[in-house]
Amino acid sequence: MKSKLYKKEIYLNDNRREEMGKLQWAKKPADKKMTFDDANNYCKSLGEGWRLPTFSELQSIFNYKKERLKKPLSSNWYWSSTNYVDFTSNAWIADLINGYVDVVNKCNINYVWPVRDKT
């Protein structure tokens, strides 16, 4: 069952990187879809603490994109690192165009937008 994301306050810092609270988002999402495991490996390959966003963090980027980004994203569904409680072989994803959320098997392919903790 899909549901709408809730709204959170977000900020843009002076160096034009998207940072919300204590997070720094990659300047752009990955160019291709990948499985959950491949998405995790992709984030780790970027080094310096890059990782998949949690479900809550992914909700924040949706609200930022909706309010501030002028260019549309390359796709609508993005991975979060948050497992579905009842079936850990599934993870939460979010539609960053329409704001819907869903749970899918980790073997599916979706886009990824890496995040890291701000230092």
Q: How high is the mean pLDDT in each 10-residue block of the chain (119 residues)? A: 38 36 83 96 95 88 57 73 95 86 96 89
Report the domain count for the chain.
1
What local confidence, expressed as pLDDT, does residue 95 receive? Answer: 86
Q: Is residue 78 part of a domain?
A: yes
How far is the C-alpha of 41 from the C-alpha of 33, rounded, in Å?
Answer: 13
Query: Is residue 85 situated within a structural domain?
Result: yes
CB 79 within 8 A of CB 93: yes
Q: What SS3 class is residue 96? A: coil
Q: In the chain, how long is the greatest CA-to-CA distance? A: 41
Q: Is 47 within a domain?
A: yes
Return the percent helix, strand and coil in the chain, to nearest 5: 20, 30, 50
Q: Which domain holds residue 98?
A: 19-117
Which pTM does this prediction carry? 0.75
In a domain, 52, yes or no: yes
Rounded to whole angstroms, the Cα distance separating 68 from 105 reads 31
Q: What CATH number is associated with residue 94?
A: 3.10.100.10
In-domain check, residue 7: no
Is 1 contained in some domain? no
